[in-house]
């Protein structure tokens, strides 16, 4: 799958390339692979023949949607490149990939400069303290900037940067990169701001040596407090060699365990690809231990409702990126044979330790244009949901399928994928905000088998519903004796409880953060079947929820907007009218920075109004940030079951 000049590199470095759309990260990936001899010609985004954008939709739209892995070597270090999405609708995919990285390269365009999504990415990188180098691309384009852009980076991305390369003839076809001395005053001052040792040497003397500066640069980059900046051109190749040479020196590579057989394998599935025959390839990053071909593996999965389930499989195929043999700590492998594997499944550790991604806040219903393709559409969407579990495909009314989304671009990509990969023309209803319900108190309900005039179900079920801790999801428990029912009947009740909670609230919205306990059970042999328990459980559960009562919550977004000075008043007035709560306002010489939170149902409205209110100069960023009780109850949601 991958070839390297040095296939037996002793160290591995897993690097993510992150950028705003059109900043050139796919072009940089192509350049890195070409310059290292992995590929014999440069692919082009416009021509649709790049190495990492291997999906038809990605090639047509010119954006990276799913994470991809490629590899090359720099000296004795193998560098695995994880090319991540740049569009804001795929931010969950970016964050999944960040978990498996040792470091990142954040791309900016020397022409467009700091974009809204660039700031989103840097916020996440700084929060994780992930070692990050900044590469300023497109220095040979007209309009490219150097000093002004560095000021923007300090002001809008991170105040602590060190420029390691500069540019001559920037903005022309003759632009070329020159190294910056490490011991120049500006670099020493930047290091002194984040490194106590360098600060002491600057203040008290003697001045720090070049070796001391180099060690401080590596240490502060590694802990995420300083960000080196490089200039260059991915298409022309300028400055790329300097970036590659510096990567292993500033970002500590992963070291394989000395005795991998002594440690239990521990890793994360961060991407899944489905082949034309439906076979799945899982990309597994290993942190500890060793995985060999045909080894049996047990993965833990945190379901959307809070449950932890186990997924079993055997690694029938094991293609370690960049090298032959078994998968060892610090490396990545493409694994086949793991039926049912999903993105986010964890090997050898509890998924509770995994970072939790904000759930999508939009919901849509999808229907096949040809009614006889409804079953095929549902199967296709369920397959896509396995690759991206956050979209949560589930049956909807009248043969439709309900999907969760982060944005409208996802809807467009899904429609194109269904048409090209599955041959299904689909229609999407307008997206709506997804509300949640939580129990307000405790409620019980039960239904018994009656000898005369029974309910139609040969089952006895009693359920109690009570509030659970925030973030706990839906938890199912027993107060009845486990042996009182056949195992299949127990499983039917538990599975149906979790399925029903997806839309069982009195207001028709999903119910979360609750504990449902089976407090009464019974059956009539040999008449009762699992179907009786599946049929009666929703009736009893909904009745218990009505007795408990629920409160409806609406999703909120954190937002950040940068405004021209004269647009501050009209924009903040509009935000206030939408129910925003302001956190911080900071004024500069040319703009205002406003942060806060607002109901998700108004995000699209403000995005559409902002250009007019700011004469096209406003910048907007927002992302899901939890939920709050609704101030005004929304209309009843249509049941999807």
Residues 528-547 pLDDT 10s = 999 999 999 999 999 999 99
DSSP type of residue 482 = G
Model confidence, pTM: 0.72
> Which among 19, 84, 77 is positioned nearest to 53, based on CA atoms?
84
pLDDT band with cut points at 50, 70 and 90 for residue 393: confident
pLDDT band with cut points at 50, 70 and 90 for residue 632: confident
Torsion of CA 552, 554, 555, 557, to 10 degrees: -150
Let me know if domain 260-353 sits in CATH 1.10.357.10: no
> Which among 298, 278, 473 is positioned nearest to 387, based on CA atoms?
278
CATH fold of the domain at 11-250: Rossmann fold (3.40.50)
In CATH, which of 3.30.230.10, 3.20.20.20, 3.40.605.10, 3.10.129.10 is domain 437-548?
3.30.230.10
pLDDT at 47 over 60: no
**CATH number for the segment(s) 362-434:** 3.30.70.3280
Which of 111-125, 425-439, 550-564 shows the lowest per-residue confidence on average (mean pLDDT)?
Answer: 111-125
Torsion of CA 119, 121, 127, 132, to 10 degrees: -100
Which of 143-157, 187-201, 343-357, 419-433 shows the lowest per-residue confidence on average (mean pLDDT)?
Answer: 343-357
pLDDT at 338 over 60: yes
Q: List the domain boundaries for the chain.
A: 11-250, 260-353, 362-434, 437-548, 553-629
The mean pLDDT of the chain is 84
* pLDDT at position 309: 82
Q: Please tell me the distance from the alpha carbon of residue 617 to that of residue 566, in angstroms, as a whole number.
A: 11
Residues 310-326 pLDDT 10s = 889 999 999 898 888 89
pLDDT band with cut points at 50, 70 and 90 for residue 246: very high
Task: Pick the most confident of 230-244, 253-267, 321-335, 620-634.
Answer: 230-244
pLDDT band with cut points at 50, 70 and 90 for residue 280: confident
110-142: burial string, b at 16+ Cβ within 10 Å, e else:
bbbbbbbbbbbbbbbbbebebbbbbbbbbbbbe
Q: Please tell me the distance from the alpha carbon of residue 574 to that of residue 504, in angstroms, as a whole number.
A: 35
| In the block, residue with structure tokens 């049956």 | 395
Let me know if domain 553-629 sits in CATH 3.30.70.240: yes
pLDDT at 482 over 70: no
Phi, psi angles (nearest 5°) of residue 557: -120, 140
Phi, psi angles (nearest 5°) of residue 17: -105, 115
Residues 374-385 pLDDT 10s = 888 988 888 777
* pLDDT at position 621: 79
**Hey, do 362-434 and 553-629 end up sharing a CATH topology, with the first three levels equal?**
yes
Residues 553-599 pLDDT 10s = 999 999 988 898 999 999 999 999 999 999 988 877 778 889 999 99
């Amino acid at each position: 799958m991958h070839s390297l000049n040095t296939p037996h590199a002793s160290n591995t470095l897993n690097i993510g390339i992150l950028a705003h759309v059109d900043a050139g990260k796919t072009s940089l990936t192509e350049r890195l692979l070409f310059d290292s001899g992995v590929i014999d010609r440069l692919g082009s985004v416009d021509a649709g023949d790049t190495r990492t954008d291997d999906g038809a939709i990605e090639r047509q739209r010119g954006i990276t949607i799913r994470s991809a892995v490629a590899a090359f070597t720099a000296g004795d270090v193998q560098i695995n490149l994880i090319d991540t999405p740049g569009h804001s609708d795929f931010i969950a995919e970016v964050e999944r990939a960040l978990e498996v990285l040792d470091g990142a390269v954040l791309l900016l365009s020397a022409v467009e400069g700091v974009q809204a999504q660039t700031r989103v990415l840097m916020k996440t990188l700084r929060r994780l303290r992930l070692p990050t180098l900044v590469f300023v691309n497109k220095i040979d384009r007209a309009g490219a900037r150097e000093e002004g852009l560095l000021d923007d980076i300090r002001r809008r991305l991170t105040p602590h940067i060190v420029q390691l390369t500069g540019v001559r003839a920037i903005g022309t076809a003759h632009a070329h990169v020159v190294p910056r001395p490490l011991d120049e005053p500006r670099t020493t001052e930047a290091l002194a701001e984040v490194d106590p040792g360098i600060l002491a040497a600057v203040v008290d003397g003697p001045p720090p040596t070049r070796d001391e500066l180099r060690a401080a640069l590596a240490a502060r980059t590694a802990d995420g407090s300083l960000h080196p900046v490089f200039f260059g051109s991915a298409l022309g190749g300028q400055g790329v060699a300097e970036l590659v040479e510096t990567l292993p020196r500033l970002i500590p590579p992963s070291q394989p365990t000395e005795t991998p057989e002594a440690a239990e394998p521990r890793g994360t599935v961060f991407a899944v690809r489905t082949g034309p025959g439906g076979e799945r390839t899982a990309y597994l990053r290993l942190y500890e231990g060793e995985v060999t071909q045909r080894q049996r593996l047990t993965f833990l999965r945190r379901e959307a409702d809070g449950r932890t389930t186990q997924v079993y499989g055997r690694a029938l195929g094991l293609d370690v990126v960049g090298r032959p043999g078994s998968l060892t700590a610090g490396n990545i492998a493409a694994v086949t044979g793991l039926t049912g594997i999903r993105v986010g499944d964890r090997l050898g550790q509890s998924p509770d330790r995994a970072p939790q991604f904000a759930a999508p806040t939009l919901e849509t219903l999808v229907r096949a244009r040809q009614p006889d393709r409804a079953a095929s559409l549902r199967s296709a969407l369920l397959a896509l949901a396995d690759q991206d579990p956050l979209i949560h495909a589930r049956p909807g009314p009248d043969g439709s399928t309900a999907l969760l989304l982060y944005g409208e671009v996802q809807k467009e990509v899904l429609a194109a994928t269904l048409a090209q990969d599955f041959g299904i023309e689909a229609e999407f209803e307008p997206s709506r905000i997804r509300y949640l319900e939580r129990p307000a108190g405790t409620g019980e309900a039960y239904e018994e088998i009656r000898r005369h005039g029974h309910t139609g179900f040969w089952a006895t079920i009693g359920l109690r519903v009570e509030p659970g801790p925030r973030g706990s999801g839906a938890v199912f428990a027993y107060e009845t004796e486990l042996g009182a029912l056949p195992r299949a009947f127990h499983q039917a009740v538990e599975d149906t409880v979790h399925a029903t909670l997806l839309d069982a609230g009195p207001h028709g919205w999903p119910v979360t953060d609750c504990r449902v306990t089976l407090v009464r059970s019974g059956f009539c042999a040999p008449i009762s079947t699992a179907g009786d328990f599946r049929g009666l459980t929703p009736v009893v559960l909904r009745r218990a929820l009505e007795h408990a009562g629920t409160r409806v919550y609406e999703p909120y977004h954190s937002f950040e907007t940068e405004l021209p000075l004269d647009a501050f008043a009209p924009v903040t007035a509009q935000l206030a009218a939408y129910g925003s709560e302001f956190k911080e306002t900071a004024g500069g010489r040319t703009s205002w920075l406003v942060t806060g939170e607002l109901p998700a149902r108004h995000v699209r409205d403000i995005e559409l109004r902002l250009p007019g209110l700011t004469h096209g100069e406003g910048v907007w960023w927002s992302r899901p940030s939890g939920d709050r009780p609704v101030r005004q109850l929304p209309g009843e949601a249509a049941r999807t079951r």
